[in-house]
Structure 1
């Protein structure tokens, strides 16, 4: 076994352990398992150095235990992406059985059996997650990670199957087995680490992007996320449909009388009602405070008004009871259809805002529609099928 491998591999694996530890500190759960796995494997590859300093037969057991533990963590790290805790106890059992067979082999002074038990155990531990992951390869990072894990599993399988050929000298340190183990570990270990790191960093970036575009309280899009969703749709399809703007009536009074915690619960409940009634392709956002916006693609004004009225009635009937309020909590709605002459979607939002203001001035708890901003006679006040609240 080359001295360069003996020094380089533990350092390389431990370095990846540190890197994944940092990623884990950024709240990427799988990175914690990757970190622990690479530290364990680094310890396993550092065993020859420990043996050189303190010769004892116990080092073999330490290496077997570290490799088994490391590959158990590899399997858990992979499954965090694809199917968390799948066959957890079976994998723990495989890890324990592999270590037990290694102990028996050490007691019998049977090096081929010890290496085979370790290799086949590692193969099963990293190979089983591939069964769960084969149906979750929707993006390139998962496909590359799957390939890297498959190569690592194949490496262990082939190495364990060819022990009679590569361990012909009977000595581990000077055998072809040891050289191939460390040489291939450099290649496949580096590939696996880089693939996992890329996948974890992409997950982290996706989470940051999701957080930047979503309101943390309601879970709906925020203003930035709404604009981005609208822009993405506009690049593919013509902008046609209806815009609804919703605002909770007398919300400040609710906060002042019952506290902001209850006001936050009201926001969450209203967001849930919006999500319940909004069509699957609707773009729903919280613009701030108690104001919500819904864009209903390919929906004419009459249909959008019916949806807005259903939402209005549900808010009036459900929210106060859910929060334990003595008086009903209501909301007002403004609606406008997207028009061909609109410079942007914000023209429709401006008309819906004007309709919302009209709903507020006419007594709240109602739906009003605006077709243009110019003259008051272009305002269609409460449509005949819109129930006016008490």
Structure 2
């Protein structure tokens, strides 16, 4: 049974490692670290089995190097997943220092108990430092599960260190492969590795799904929501507890002239800049989307039409003040705004969008660079709308 476990663990871990490397091809960076770490651990278990003819000491040193690499990579995968870029060199230095100590213990002292103690304790520290660094970053339920699974892996390895140090009978390096401790280590390592690998793989799969969904819901030019993403976000907002919801629809004035006179590359930069200005002005919790072409829509929870009119005014002023000459525009850029508040009798948000659209086109009809509310309130331009000067 001992031999069955000895061969089973690296095979199963190898399959998980390969799965992670496949997921990494979808652009999930942390998945490559998980895959490399799991494969390193699998090789660490298989080395003593595949080359039994070699002396014990070189085999032990090779296995230790692979286990250190595995736990270093597990921790790195965790840090990358949660967006932490710290501790790389500190953890690497610890692994190298511990490996020097292991080399002395194995080659000079020939003390198996001390070797296993230093080895397991180093693995715990390599992983625990990463776990501690991300303890406040797990917000999604799946991320919280991953965090606590990694805590379990640390605890399982630490418990094994304590048990072996205080309860296990002394054994030599030659006796280790067939010892009860080796068998227990394989069982506990199998449980810990499988739980960790399955949880991490579930997290990576969720990340891939969310990334593809975000790509489908996002506008590639501005990074804002597209119409599909807006529909999803609006449905979630309207299903919540927001009392008043207002809507701002706005469109870049004379955008066709910008494309015709300065080229589509400049036009794209104008659209990006308008998106940045609008996002900076909108209050927290708002939903902003590019609805197509040069048209944008913003949904403001807990805002009346009057408050939305004030937000649109600040947005209009920010667009006017922006230095558009940086993009090569000799004139300026303005936008026309339509405001509406969602009514209780509306069957769809698109009824409100339709009213805001009518108000926006009234703003364009009466001179552009204006804000018109579907309720009849109008904010005139503070000055005649800026003219786009064509290049000669």
- The farther-off stretch of 201-210 and 191-200 is 201-210
The residue correspondences of 1:8-87 to structure 2 (distance < 5 A) are 8-55=8-55, 57-82=57-82, 84-87=84-87
What's the CA shift for 1:172?
0.9
Q: Do 1:167 and 1:177's aligned partners in 2 also have CA atoms closer than 8 Å?
A: no
Structure 2: how far apart are the matches of 1:27 and 1:389? Answer: 46
1:81-111 per-residue CA deviation (whole Å, 9 max, x = no partner) reads 3352332222112211221111111212222
Specify the alignment match of 1:389 in structure 2.
385
Specify the alignment match of 2:116 in structure 1.
115
Is the alpha carbon distance of 1:85 and 1:320 closer, same or farther for their aligned partners in structure 2, counting shifts above 3 Å? closer
Secondary structure at 2:322 match in 1: helix
Specify the alignment match of 2:257 in structure 1.
253
Is the alpha carbon distance of 1:304 and 1:144 closer, same or farther for their aligned partners in structure 2, counting shifts above 3 Å? closer
Q: Which runs of 5+ in 1 are unaligned?
A: 372-379
The residue correspondences of 1:306-321 to structure 2 (distance < 5 A) are 306-321=310-325
Is the alpha carbon distance of 1:306 and 1:163 closer, same or farther for their aligned partners in structure 2, counting shifts above 3 Å? closer
Specify the alignment match of 1:196 in structure 2.
200
* TM-score, with length taken from structure 2: 0.91
Structure 2: how far apart are the matches of 1:139 and 1:229? Answer: 18
Specify the alignment match of 2:232 in structure 1.
228
Q: Which runs of 5+ in 2 are unaligned?
A: 387-392
Structure 1: how far apart are the matches of 2:239 and 2:56? Answer: 68
The residue correspondences of 1:76-155 to structure 2 (distance < 5 A) are 76-82=76-82, 84-108=84-108, 109-155=110-156
Q: Do 1:339 and 1:348's aligned partners in 2 also have CA atoms closer than 8 Å?
A: yes
Structure 1: how far apart are the matches of 2:293 and 2:336? Answer: 14
What's the CA shift for 1:319?
4.9
- The farther-off stretch of 49-58 and 170-179 is 49-58
Q: Do 2:84 and 2:134's aligned partners in 1 also have CA atoms closer than 8 Å?
A: no
What's the CA shift for 1:340?
3.1
* TM-score, with length taken from structure 1: 0.91
Q: Do 1:47 and 1:63's aligned partners in 2 also have CA atoms closer than 8 Å?
A: yes
Specify the alignment match of 1:3 in structure 2.
3
Specify the alignment match of 2:294 in structure 1.
290
Structure 1: how far apart are the matches of 2:90 and 2:154? Answer: 17
What's the CA shift for 1:343?
2.0
What's the CA shift for 1:387?
5.6
Question: How large is the RMSD of aligned CA atoms in angstroms?
Answer: 2.1
